[in-house]
Structures are given as structure tokens and as C-alpha cells.
Amino acid sequence: MKLRFARSGWAVKVLTALGAIALGGCAYTSNLTNPHPSQEPVADTPERGRVLYLRDCAWCHAAEGSGTGRGPDLISGTNGAAFTDFMLSTGRMPINDPSEPTRFSSPSYNPSEIEDLVAYVASLGGDGPPIPVVDTQAGDLALGLELYQENCAACHSTTGVGGALAAGPDPFDRSLIAPALTQSTPIQIAEAMQVGPGTMPVFGRDTLASTEVDSIVRYLGHLQTPDDRGGLPLGHVGPVTEGAIGWLVGVGGALLIVRLIGTRVGEE
């Protein structure tokens, strides 16, 4: 066996090496995945928050929330009720593979389970902001636009579709994204602003008054149903998709038309 492999071509050797590395990598990452993935409902008792936490969260964040090599602590910085509620209600947590970046997805828990988990995590000692109270109707649309443009548009785009951030400069780093805000609820928006999740700055209660928060939320609500009276929005990213359509439909369409009007070589 060994002799035959040693005589095989370089391509076989390289592919085998790559395969071994891939398998090893899988084995390594599998060490990171949740050893207790469970969808079974937990009984609704006063202890539910703690039970869920110990079952699903403690393997990364430690039983008392002090953090492990796989996940940060839940006590320092802006950790608290708002942070926990944001991560759970946007489906960013729990996560099966901590080496993956967090992403917006559907929540793993129902609202009352989230409430219990939030209460338990908040009790661990973090003094971050509580779940904010947001009154969208009290916000002013024009003020919201001004504040959004000043503080948020650079990362999340003026149209709210999000954008790429500075991952790297190692070219093989995973991507970093300021997410699209098209599906965020008012509370989630306010929570994110006050807590600064991931790589987002903190726009906290000392920086923005509650009327300003309400206004930004109201403007984002408006952006979520944008005024596209011009027609198809083409992704709301501007000149890139517009140029593509200009070429494909405009120039391409016109070229098709002249092909129909003119002759080809060999025709009269």
C-alpha cells in the first residue's frame, strides 16, 4: 500500500494531502459544535430560563456567564437585558458553530422563552441597558432621516440594504457585514443602537435621547417600505445595478433592434 502511494503521481499525493487536511479540519470544527442540540420544549416553570441557558448556552458562555474559549462573557461591557434580547430575537444566538459569523435568522425560541432567558442572563451581573421602550409614532421622520444619514448610513447604506465592512486584511478572513435593516423591528433597532453588537459602535442612552431613537426607528420603518415611485428598485444599491441594466436592457435591446432592422452579410 505504502509503496503504491509513493509511486503515484504528484496530483494524487496533493489531493490526498488536501483531503486529510479537510478531514482534520472537520474534526476540529466538530469539536466546536453544540454537543447538546435539542429541540425538545422545556416546561414553563420559573426555572425555565436557567434550564434553557444551561442546556444551550453554557457550553460556550460558561455556567455563570464568565465565558470560555468558544464564546465571550455575558457580564462585561454592554451585556444585559437588551443585548441578550437582541441576540435571541434576531436569531443570531444560539449558534451551532461559534467559528461562523453571527447572522440574522429566525429565532430558535418563542417569545416567552426569550423573556425567561433574558431575565436569567440579566441576573448574571451585566449592567448593560435594559430592553428599551420605543414609541415609533412619537418619532419625527425628518429628524430620523437626519440622524440616520449622520450616524448609520455610512455602514448600513442610505437605503438600509447594508454593506461590507473591513474584514481582513488577511484575504481569507471571513466577511464582515453591516446587515440590511429591512426586516428589523423597532425594538431590535433600538437595542442594537444602545448595545453595539458585533463590530457596531455604541449609540447609547447618553448619546441619543429617546425621542431621537424613536425618530430613527420611525425613519427606518419608512425605509423598509421605500418610496420606489420610479419603478423597479434594482436592489437599492445604485449605479452598479443601474449600469448592468443599462447595458443589458438598453444597449443590448438596441443592438437586438438594429439586428432586426439591418441586414446580415449575404443578405440584400
Q: Per CB under 8 A, which of residues 224..243 are in contact with other proteins?
A: 226-234, 236-240, 242-243
Which helix (H) or strand (E) segment holds residue 128: the answer is none
Whose Cβ is closer to other proteins: residue 1's or residue 166's? 166
Query: Is residue 36 a contact partner of residue 56, using CB atoms and an 8 Å limit?
Result: yes
Contacts of 45 by beta carbon, 8 Å cutoff, 6+ apart: 51
- 267 part of the interface to other proteins, by CB under 8 A: yes
| Comparison of 24 and 238: residue with beta carbon closer to other proteins | 238
Q: Minimum Å distance from CB 166 to other proteins?
A: 4
How many residues form the binding site for other proteins (CB under 8 A)?
83
Residue 205 Cβ vs other proteins, minimum distance, rounded to whole Å? 8
Sign of CA dihedral 87, 91, 96, 102: negative
The SS3 call for residue 178 is strand
Nearest to other proteins of 52, 195 (CB atom): 195
Nearer to other proteins, 57 or 161 (CB): 161
**25 in contact with other proteins (CB under 8 A):** no
Amino acid, single-letter form, for residue 86: F
Positions 63 through 122 that interact with other proteins (CB under 8 A): 77-78
State how far the Cα of 82 lies from the Cα of 252, in Å rounded to an integer.
51
Do 185 and 150 contact (CB within 8 A), yes or no?
no
DSSP state of 234: G
Which x/- pattern, by CB under 8 A, does the window 191-210 give for other proteins?
-----x-xxxxxxx-xx---
One-letter identity of residue 226: P
Provide the 10 A C-beta neighbour count for residue 221.
19
In the complex, least distance from residue 260 CB atom to other proteins, rounded to whole angstroms:
8
Q: Of the two residues 58 and 241, which places its CB atom closer to other proteins in the complex?
A: 241
Site string for other proteins, 134-163 (x = CB under 8 A): -------xx-xxx--xx--xxx-xxx--xx
